[in-house]
Chains A and B, each alone.
Chain A
Amino acid sequence: MTTEEGKTLYTLIIFSENVAGLLNEITSVFTRRQINIESLNVSASSIEGLHRYTITCWSDECTIKKVNKQIEKKIGVVRSNFFTSTEIYIQEVALFKLSTPKILEHGEISRLIRLHAGKIVEVNPTYAIVTIEGMTNEILSLFHQLMEWDCVLQYVRSGAIAITKDTRELLDEYLVERKKRFLASK
């Protein structure tokens, strides 16, 4: 994905130790360079004690390379990599709280939810809760269309999460190599 100003949507996948304050340190790399973070997600990774960050932002290749290195330089960050949208499988979840009377009034609302494979997980006379998974632009498109029906009571997105399509894993070999080098230097 590229904008008119030649900016590309990059996704950074970062592994870090689970230490306080690191989120702040990582985001400050973006703010110092005046880069707006589009979305950010942090959760435990599959490796014990390590957190996995997924951060998306619009930037250019030259800048994102520098950002990536400056993040990786932080003590506590194990590894940072950046990807364009074709190199990863990226998903986001959104929750909508919609007005039940409006849904009943306009059949088009239900049609939109079905069209986007939305799931109704709770309904009562006042509201319905709908979840959908998809690419950020798909979710945004649904959101904008629902807004036209004036039926959205609440709306939230999880922030993008991503899995790489490469056949090699991000950390396994890397950490083995690093440890070897550390032991060799002793």
Chain B
Amino acid sequence: MTTTKLTGAEILMKSLLAEGVTTLFGYPGGAIMPVFDALYDYRDRLHHILVRHEQGAIHSAEGYARVSGKVGVCLVTSGPGATNTVTGIADAMLDSTPVVVIAGQVGAKMLGTDAFQECDIVNVTQPITKWAYQIRSAEDVAPAIKKAFYIAQSGRPGPVVLDFTKNAQNETAIYKDSKIGFLRSYEAVPPTSPQSITEAAELINAAKKPLVLIGQGVELGGAQEEVRQLIEKADLPAGCTLLGLSCLPSAHPLNVGMLGMHGSLASNVKTQECDLLIAIGMRFDDRITGNISTYACQAKKIHFDIDPAEINKNVSVDVAVLGNCKETVAQVSALVKPNQHKHWRESFNDHLEKENRIVIEPEVHPSDGPIKMGEVVNKVSTHAHEKAIIVTDVGQNQMMAARYSRFTLNRSIVTSGGMGTMGFGLPAAVGATFGAPERTVCLFVGDGGFQMTIEELGTIMENQCPVKIVLLNNNFLGNVRQWQELFFQRRYSFTHMLSPDYSKIAEAYHIPYRLVTERKGLDVAIQQMLDTNGPYLLEVAVMEEDNVLPMCCPGNDVDDMILDI
């Protein structure tokens, strides 16, 4: 055993390597300088990406985590550096994304004195983290990192904040790697009751009109294959949540589309007709359920989840199957009888056809008029052979990207679901290029959200991150404008937005750029974007006052969807 003493900062480097970390997103500053100094000697093993704003670091870490399944790591200074990550931490909390934020902090002796750049980040982030902890001694660095990574990625994943005092970075201790021991106050995966497995199987066997709701938990648990086997064996139609979109191939015959506010008409109408709802790794968000008091009242419900606090939180269920869905779904599958629900399945067709005729066709294949967002998304999906990672920002661009992208591979949708964080897209796409370097990463972003974290073009330039940016420019904060049109008599209060000359911005960052204003140029431009090595900015002038449809208006019953306005 070694008895050489290392500084807390060096122990951090060794501990990160022991966790298998290869990539960090960060930004230096006074209170984290000893760590950055140590990092200088480790830069061949720990690839640090210098972002342009700490919000960029945290969203990049999220994007990295979402596509790779590994923990995203973020390294920032105290005070403003730490507070700049807060939006992303809250985002990661709501979307169960495993990230570890290591923030500098003033020396332990100065804590509580309002020292320069002191901010009580543990208290600030406690309500929006899975765990927030202050490291005050060098001895504590290795155990804290071990515990932080364990908590961030086990069970229901989530963000962890480590507040690293400067004295702990500078003081020395002996580094020793250890295994995570028993924690009295944390059980990553709750035990599964065998009875819940048999009861779930019995309900599925007895159902005449079953409907499966697939959430991101399936992606997080790596249960895509188990879920596919279950639905194929028992012939269960399945809808996906926004974050669960790439858990099941879009073209799978049992896939009945996205759930919720802008989801497919069929999946929402059938939610109100099914006799059994089988929710897997999803949390009945209000954007999924619409009016909760009328939601699927007629149906029995099974809820597979790893987080006991999700059971009966929003919707009361008949059977709760706790545990990791990779195991529980397989166990239920084994007891499920092969079945056919031909009649029930075919009853979806009318709704699919109706939505296709009224909403999808005019959006995806318009014959004249301005270019439409859905049309662009559909073409990008086709040109990328349905294999790209689709990153979105928030707003109409997000809903259109979700509705009209087709997925064939897992972990292919990166979007801010729970928080709806504008400005998420660009940095998350940067992170995705590092998390899945072998894959094509396409970002759909609106003119509003693009301008929120546009500084990350600097990160893209410096690292030549191959992000294919599709800027859907409608000169509006489109999503809000749509709500103003629908609910505020078209009073467009501060939703029209002037954009800079994006060609000049792209030029300044040495990023290839093209503007498309006419339909006939679209295919060639998309192909060129995808053929170009490295980053690309494709600006498409899309219809200004287009609407995302269908729509279940807030508070309405989930099957009460408007198809046209």
Contacts and interface: CB of A to CB of B under 8 A. Distances in A.
Interface string B173-189: 00000000011111111
Interface residues of A, number: 27
A66 interface: yes
Interface string A85-107: 00000000000000000000000
A74 B311 CA distance: 16
A185 B189 CA distance: 9
A70 B309 contact: yes
Contact of A181 (B126, B187, B308, B312): B187
B191 A75 contact: no
B432 to A, nearest CB: 28
A66 B130 contact: no
Contacts of B470: none
Interface in B280-332: 307-309, 311-313
B308 A178 contact: no
B367 interface: no
Given A73-B309, A181-B191, A24 B123 contact: yes
Contacts of A65: 312
Contacts of B122: 21
Contacts, number: 52
A56 to B, nearest CB: 22
A69 B187 contact: no
Interface in B102-141: 122-123, 126-127, 130-132, 134
A175 B186 CA distance: 11
A184 B307 CA distance: 20
Given A66-B313, A75-B130, A75-B131, A21 B123 contact: yes
Interface in A137-186: 175, 178-179, 181-183, 185
A178 B184 CA distance: 8
B151 interface: yes
A16 interface: yes
Contacts of B189: 185
A17 interface: yes
A178 B123 contact: no
Interface string B92-109: 000000000000000000
Given A21-B126, A25-B126, A78 B313 contact: no
B182 A182 contact: yes
A8 to B, nearest CB: 18
A174 to B, nearest CB: 10
Given A21-B122, A181-B191, A75 B127 contact: no
Given A75-B185, A181-B187, A182-B182, A69 B130 contact: no
Contacts of B131: 75
A134 interface: no
Contacts of B188: 185
Contacts of B313: 66
B309 A183 contact: no
B126 A17 contact: no
A178 B187 contact: yes
Given A66-B309, A69-B308, A73-B309, A28 B187 contact: no
Contacts of B134: 20
B185 A77 contact: yes
A17 B185 contact: yes
The B interface, classified by DSSP as helix, strand, loop or mixed, is loop
Contact of B127 (A28, A62, A179): A28
A179 B182 contact: yes
A179 B186 CA distance: 11
A75 B132 CA distance: 9
Nearest to B130: A75
Nearest to B155: A73
Nearest to A16: B185
Contact of A24 (B126, B186, B191): B126
Nearest to A175: B184
A62 B315 CA distance: 11
A74 B191 CA distance: 18
A25 B126 CA distance: 7
A72 B185 CA distance: 8
A41 to B, nearest CB: 20
A72 B308 CA distance: 9
Contacts of B187: 178, 181-182
A178 B307 CA distance: 16
A66 B185 contact: no
Given A179-B182, A181-B187, A75 B151 contact: yes
Of A75, A77, A78, A182, most buried by chain B (CB within 10 Å of CB) is A75
A17 B309 contact: no
A172 B312 CA distance: 28
A11 B313 CA distance: 20
Interface in B183-213: 183-189, 191
A178 B191 CA distance: 9
Given A21-B126, A24-B123, A66-B313, A78 B308 contact: no
B324 to A, nearest CB: 10
Contacts of A69: 308-309, 311
Contacts of A182: 182-183, 187
The 7 A-B pairs with the shortest beta carbon distances in the complex, nearest first, are A69-B309, A75-B131, A78-B185, A73-B309, A182-B182, A78-B184, A76-B185
26 contacts: A24-B123, A24-B126, A25-B126, A28-B127, A50-B184, A66-B309, A66-B312, A69-B308, A72-B308, A73-B307, A74-B185, A75-B131, A75-B151, A75-B185, A75-B186, A78-B184, A78-B185, A178-B182, A178-B184, A178-B187, A181-B187, A181-B191, A182-B182, A182-B183, A183-B182, A185-B189
Given A62-B312, A69-B308, 20 more contacts: A20-B134, A21-B122, A21-B126, A25-B126, A28-B126, A28-B127, A50-B184, A66-B312, A66-B313, A69-B311, A73-B308, A75-B186, A76-B185, A77-B185, A78-B184, A78-B185, A182-B182, A182-B187, A183-B182, A185-B188
